[in-house]
Amino acid sequence: MDGKYVNGFQASFKDLFFVGLNDAGKLVGGKFFDKSSLDRLQPQFGATFVPVLLQNGQKSVIPAKWKVSPKRAPRTVIGNYKDDQLLIIVVDGYNEGGSSGATLEELQGRMYKLGIVDAYNLDGGGSSSLIVNNRVVNNPSDGSLRPVPTHFLFYK
């Protein structure tokens, strides 16, 4: 946050990745095993997430466990076009049990068709909320906003 590590740098492990915006407002993300690799990208804020959906315009392999648990769910993804414009998609769903929402593969395919270069799954379930002009514009699956430790805030 503000270019500083809130809890110190922790190397990526297993499927964990980082995504955020750098000091030029560009989307940066990936898997980082040492602090200097991430520092070179000059992130100003960001969060950890799983998995990467697109990298350099190509579909990434989605780990098998993320394809099935949950298969369909409310989700939030962020991506960038080649001119660095951002696209954020929040998918509603009724629950986290898999009966509504979207699969990661569906979102990956949608982002790919829209010409997104890099795309990252941020979170899902009741954490997927979209607020515009101080109003919740989606239907969080918990029925109301869920307290979460990280938020991406964009101002006009």
Reduced to 3 states (helix: H, G, I; strand: E, B; else coil), residue 51 is coil
- CA dist 137 and 64 (Å) reads 32
Q: Note whether 87 and 101 are same-domain residues.
A: yes
In this structure, of 37-41, 109-113, 115-119, the range with the lowest mean pLDDT score is: 37-41
Q: Note whether 56 and 76 are same-domain residues.
A: yes
Q: Note whether 76 and 1 are same-domain residues.
A: no
Q: Note whether 38 and 92 are same-domain residues.
A: no
Where does the pLDDT of residue 106 fall: very low under 50, low under 70, confident under 90, or very high at 90 and above? Answer: very high
- Total domain count, the chain: 2
- The segment with the largest mean pLDDT, out of 72-76, 77-81, 88-92, is 77-81
Reduced to 3 states (helix: H, G, I; strand: E, B; else coil), residue 79 is strand
Backbone angles phi, psi at 54, to 5 degrees: -135, 145
Q: Note whether 58 and 35 are same-domain residues.
A: no
pTM above 0.75, yes or no: yes
Q: Which domain holds residue 91?
A: 50-148
